[in-house]
Structure 1
Amino acid sequence: MTLVLYHYYEAAQGPFRNLSSLPLEEAREILGMIVQEGKTFASQRAGDYMETRLILESRAREAFIAKGGQPANLYPHYMTLGPCNWLCSWYTEPNVVQIDWDEFDDRSISFTYGDLFPTMRYEDGKPYRKQVYTKGEIREVIARYGLPQEWNKHGDRGPERYIEAQIWDENVIGRYYPSIYGGL
């Protein structure tokens, strides 16, 4: 089975724009402008979103390192494993990048069964909560539970809507979008 990663984004802004890569105050300012505009899914985020995001990203990074991951960045770029059309509703003019997962070094990519936020915060006893998976492990999780975007298309069966991939370096992304990262 060929596995493809998807990155959804606002067409006018371009792909792989990442609030976590900015100084905290600048990220808060940008998020504040997004909230004021009120046009996209991101405009619904809570006031402590950035602080919570940075804590969860740090936990995911530490868990990934404990499993042999070698993240080059302190923060990940986000993609989904397989398509998730629901994510198009997050954007005014959605666009998507698709990259074969084999292009990513196993030591630079982790996964959560669901979005990082609910996966790391929900307390409902599901075995995949607070877990970060490697490429090999996520295949086993899919074999056991399936793809959330298939069994929970409408979000009525829990917060799992997709499998999230956390990309911990820019090597592959830089090859696809060299203008974003100065030709890396």
Structure 2
Amino acid sequence: MDLYEEATFLYHYYERNTGPLINLSELDIDDAEKILKKLQKENNTFAAKRPENYLIIRRELEQKIRELFIKKGGEPKKGFPHYFILGECAWVKEWFQNGMEVKIPIKSFNSKSISFTYGDSIPAMRFQDGKPYRGQVYTLEEISKIIKLYGFPQEWNKDGKYGPERYIEVQVWDDEPLNLCK
């Protein structure tokens, strides 16, 4: 499976009032905490239900994912990624009060600037149930092989009934292909 050849798209879902590609990890920890607390207080979205230590866990995992990606030949241009989903997952819009999406062809990205986890990175990197794709970071070539083996989680596990993997997360480590979205 060649994801470049199959006209595959990356999707970024976001709250209309906030705008796309707002990244808590790029903010000072105190500012990020204030924003997260405001989300938790003001609305009942998915983001509002994150645990108290969410930002600490997220930043630690982002560093680990970045290091693993570099070991595999990745060339991240950023310290923290933007998050996308490989393939459409329209139900993710329901996680927001007024969900929107950005859709970008995967061909727009240099393969050395995007990494993948089979599932959302937090459970993919932390959940231990013996599945071979847990704790793994994949390159474009590697995720193509994983998809051949297991398929797209958003197709076989949309509701999360079969585990925490509900989509393939893409970590985008370069702002340049995203500049038109901002």
**Equivalent residue for 1:101?**
106
Which residue, out of 141, 147, 152, partners 1:136?
A: 141
| 8 Å CA contact 1:11, 1:94 repeated in 2 | yes
Which residue, out of 86, 89, 97, partners 2:91?
A: 86
Q: Which has the higher contact order (CA 8 A, sep 6+)?
A: 2
Q: Percent identity?
A: 49
Which residue, out of 5, 15, 19, partners 1:10?
A: 15
Which residue, out of 37, 40, 44, partners 1:35?
A: 40
Runs of 4+ with deviation above 4 angstroms: none
**Equivalent residue for 1:73?**
78
Q: TM-score, normalised by structure 1?
A: 0.94
Which residue, out of 2, 21, 30, partners 1:25?
A: 30
Counterpart amino acid of residue 141 in structure 2: G
Give the deviation of 1:13 after TM superposition: 1.2
Structure 1 CA distance for aligned equivalents of residues 142 and 7 of structure 2: 16
Do residues 153 (structure 1) and 158 (structure 2) align?
Answer: yes
SS at match of 1:97: strand
Structure 2 CA distance for aligned equivalents of residues 86 and 115 of structure 1: 15
Matched residue count: 177
Which residue, out of 42, 47, 52, partners 1:47?
A: 52
Counterpart amino acid of residue 144 in structure 1: L
Structure 1 CA distance for aligned equivalents of residues 77 and 29 of structure 2: 20
Counterpart amino acid of residue 127 in structure 1: P
| 8 Å CA contact 1:38, 1:44 repeated in 2 | no
1:88-126 deviation line (CA, Å, top 9, x unaligned)? 111011110100001100110000000000000001000
Which residue, out of 168, 171, 178, partners 1:173?
A: 178
1:125-169 deviation line (CA, Å, top 9, x unaligned)? 000001000111110000000000000011100001100000001
Aligned-residue CA RMSD (Å): 0.8
